[in-house]
Amino acid sequence: MSMTQPQGWLLDIGAIPISTDNVKFRVWAPYAESVAVKLIDQDRVVGPMQRDGQGYFEIIVSGIVPRARYQYVLDGVNERPDPASRFQSDGVHGPSVVVDPTSFQWTDTDWQGMSLDKFIVYELHVGTFTEDGTFDAIIPHLSYLRDTVGITAIELMPVAEFPGRRNWGYDGVHPFAPQSSYGGPDGMKRLVDACHAAGLAVILDVVYNHLGPEGNYLGEFGPYFTDRYRTPWGSAINYDGPDSDEVRRYVVDNALYWVTEYHIDGLRLDAIHGIFDFSAQHVLKDIAYAVHAQARLLGRQVNVIAESDLNDTRVIDPPSVGGYGLDGQWNDDFHHALRVVLTGEQKGYYADFHGLTDLATAVRDGFVYDARYSAYRRRRHGNSSQHCRPSQFVVFSQNHDQIGNRAVGDRLSTQLPWDALKAIRALVLLSPNIPLLFMGEEYGETAPFQYFIEHGDPDLIEAVRQGRQREFAHFGWNPEDIPDPQDSGTFERSRLRRDNLTDRQAELLRWTKALIRLRRTESSLGAGDGTARSHRVWAFENEQVLMVHRWTQDHEASLVVCGFNTSPVTIRLFEPHGTWLRRLDSMDKAFGGSGQGSMPTHLVVSPQGISLSIPAYGTAVFLAS
């Protein structure tokens, strides 16, 4: 085994190669009186391991070859996989595998990461992105993502080992082990290395609010969980109760592990509103501090991004003002307001959003709910985000949740006119925030993205089925329409069908590429990275037209007009003053339009005003003359 170590932090739990054939095994197991190591391939048990005062057990074993399989034997009875297993080649219940973290030959020495304001994110699910459903199978598509689409970062849905081969990833139970059916540690490292060679950053979705129910043995080792709080997905993780210091260390180590051993450029922390911690120093602050410190040691930029429905800027405020210091967070308010404008949907949490004015607020300020009363929650919700940088918010018209957590997992491409998709795309991709596309969205994929699992326990399978039906009840969806998550057909239906695009899909893809190219070349259309507002938003509520004016300190300026109108309208403009030249128009033939253009090739806006006629869903981008 190679013993060249990465710089800075090192993982000190699990199976740790320390010389050519010596491995140190170290596990936190305060619930156990004794722990031994069972070497599966040698059919022998070594131990007992030596226990320290904090509940850690440790032993050094010689004669270990790479890929040796092992289990821990708790109190001479229960044989369990390692809580810090780097690889589960035989699934969640099987033995763990010794992995030398230094054996992979990286080629990304010059890669320094990417600042958050440069992110144009493409969220994907490894299992359904390609027919093979592996890390390696993604690599041939990287040039398409970079050159044909134009994105700068891929975001992988969770890859921690989960039961079976079909899962969104949020049922992972081995946080340090990349999914074996995806290709395991080497496959994931090859993907990250290839992304960096292509100039693409990699964000990893990690789950620190719960672990899945099947194959979850952590509770036999120590107090990883608590019943003092409840989550919708399972037992809450013990971040602030007795013996929680080592649980927090386990989670912080996991974040550092992905950054260090897998060269990950960003972590997306799933549903942090399910992370309960009343400690004086919140675990999220610990994660952000540790990741940023390690990134500095490694000479790379690494971003930590939260998914949160709290609308609390404390998550992204700097520690100097009492914040947790994360770099960014998803803004669900943007999505919800946009969907209500497009569909008029008013069930569930959509009941809180009321038209174009709310969408304008989301574009201008970030949070719509900034201590405003929420009828859905029946209380005031959120705080003001006006002081935050626009580049601290990730916005989207679709993501895995907002598609997959609908009854049939239907995409906007099956619900809206094609011209409406172009208006949506312009608003998201030319936002002052960080734009995110969900896989296939760039060309209007029509295959659904549905919720799928492959559990082995019949009672658990039925519980998931019933849980999905209860979850959707408040949206008024028919339970009979909800696909069976356990059915392999649900998974197969969710695969992308990118071969042989239709004409209109090819046109939408060209529109997507043109918008991204404009975002990357025109400084006034990139992410706003200053605290001073450099954009204004007008909502023409009666006409259903949104207009965004953006500018830079170098006096470059742009005007994005997005029509959500279902029939032709005319608006009257009195500002922003100046001459504006049309740069992109959704009605151009190349993008599936009539070729006549939805708006004039130039606008002269003065205090006297000018009338602007806009066809249904007409969208155009103007640059200052």
Annotated binding-site residue numbers = 268-273, 332-336, 400-405
With 0-12 CB in 10 A as exposed, 13-18 as middle and 19+ as buried, what is 227?
exposed
CA distance from start to end of the chain: 62
Closest to 126 (Cα-Cα) out of 84, 83, 82, 172: 172
Report the distance separating Cα 493 and Cα 505, nearest Å: 19
In the numeric block, the tokens 């092992």 are attached to: 70
Sequence ranges of the binding site for substrate = 268-273, 332-336, 400-405
Residue 499: what residue type? D
Among 193, 307, 317, 327, the active-site one is: 307
Count CA within 13 A, CB hemisphere, residue 234: 21
* Dist CA 617 CA 388 (whole Å): 31
Read off the tokens for 486.
């356990």
Q: Strands 69-74, 96-97: parallel, antiparallel or unpaired by DSSP?
A: antiparallel
Using an 8 Å Cβ cutoff, are 266 and 303 in contact?
yes
Query: Is residue 307 annotated as part of the catalytic site, yes or no?
Result: yes
Q: Is 195 helix (H, G, I), strand (E, B) or coil?
A: helix
Alpha helices in 263-355 (DSSP H): 283-298, 332-343
DSSP string, 365-410: HS-S-SSEEETTTTEEE----TTS-GGGEEE-S--HHHHHTSTT--
Alpha-carbon distance of 463 to 520, in angstroms, equals 47
Helix (H, G, I), strand (E, B) or coil at 551: strand
Tokens linked to 601: 């090739």
Rounded alpha-carbon distances, angstroms, from residue 526 to 37, 334, 421, 509, 534: 54, 18, 21, 20, 11
Tell me which of 270, 317, 358, 454 is the catalytic residue: 270
Query: For residue 505, how many other CB atoms are within 10 A of its CB?
Result: 21
Residues tagged active-site: 270, 307
